[in-house]
């Protein structure tokens, strides 16, 4: 049960963050810099992602209470955002949201670790919505610890993948990354639909009662 929950949480977060499909953007933003600068940006990005994910998990429910947002509304809104990400991934366009002026500004910035890498490229609204939902559904300490381990595992994976970015891209190629994005897109779309259906069903039950 514990291992199954860890795997389910890890796969869900990995599918949403999807660091592999962010590799082309990362390489284009760091191509004119040396390895030392790239490694520094990767470390900072991983730290920011860890902070964003942990804060979303522990503070998200309090933010919802402050604004008077119900968990069902969060599930439906979060599910819509996650489903949109899934559709874009199926078309291999999810990480191409970072373009135009945002890309131009990022090329000129000295520090790209928080924006656009950590947010919104990797840990975006969909990831935060999922973590807030997990924090409300899973209240016991054991499951919280497992979710924290999953977040840490994702952060380590991002560090390894980004550190080996040129080799990974050379090995998989653009076609390989697109194929992987489509698989992740299917999983992300399923997560989004599950959140929407759960929110709608709970909302209907509350109306009936």
**Distance from CA of residue 29 to its chain's centroid?**
19
Give residue 74's pLDDT band: very low, low, confident or very high (50, 70, 90).
confident
Mean pLDDT of the region 64-89: 85
pTM: 0.86
Query: Of 184, 192, 189, 190, whose CA–CA distance to 20 is shortest?
Result: 184
Give the model's pLDDT for residue 22.
Answer: 84
Domain around 180: 2-208
When mean pLDDT is compared across 39-48, 101-110, 173-182, the lowest value belongs to 101-110
Closest-CA residue to 143 (of 12, 6, 11): 6
Q: Which H, E and C letters describe 18-81, residue by residue?
A: CHHHHHHHHHHHHCCCCHHHHHHHHHHHHHHHHHHHHHHHHHHHHHHHHHCCCHHHHHHHHHHH
- Number of structural domains in the chain: 1
The average confidence (pLDDT) of the chain is 84
If residue 118 lies in a helix (H) or strand (E), which one and from where to where? none
Position 112 pLDDT exceeds 90: no
Is residue 137's pLDDT more than 60? Answer: yes
In terms of phi and psi (left: phi > 0; alpha: psi -120 to 50; beta: otherwise), the region of 111 is beta
| Rounded mean pLDDT, 75-80 | 89
Give the model's confidence band at 86: pLDDT under 50 very low, under 70 low, under 90 confident, else very high: confident
């Amino acid at each position: 049960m514990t291992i199954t929950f860890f795997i389910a949480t890890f796969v869900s977060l990995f599918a949403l963050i999807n660091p592999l499909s962010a590799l082309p953007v990362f390489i284009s933003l760091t191509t004119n810099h040396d390895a030392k600068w790239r490694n520094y940006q990767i470390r900072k990005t991983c730290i920011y992602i860890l902070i964003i994910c942990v804060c979303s998990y522990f503070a998200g429910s309090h933010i919802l209470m402050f604004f008077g947002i119900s968990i069902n509304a969060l599930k439906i809104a979060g599910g819509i955002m996650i489903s949109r990400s899934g559709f874009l991934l199926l078309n291999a366009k999810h990480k191409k949201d970072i373009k135009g002026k945002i890309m131009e500004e990022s090329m000129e910035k000295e520090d790209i670790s928080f924006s656009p890498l950590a947010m919104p490229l990797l840990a975006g609204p969909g990831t935060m919505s999922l973590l807030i939902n997990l924090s409300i559904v899973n209240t016991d300490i054991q499951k919280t610890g497992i979710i924290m381990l999953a977040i840490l595992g994702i952060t380590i994976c991002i560090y390894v993948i980004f550190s080996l970015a040129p080799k990974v891209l050379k090995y998989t190629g653009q076609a390989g990354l697109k194929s992987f994005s489509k698989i992740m897109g299917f999983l992300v779309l399923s997560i989004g639909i599950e959140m929407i259906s759960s929110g709608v069903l709970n909302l209907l039950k509350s109306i009936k009662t």
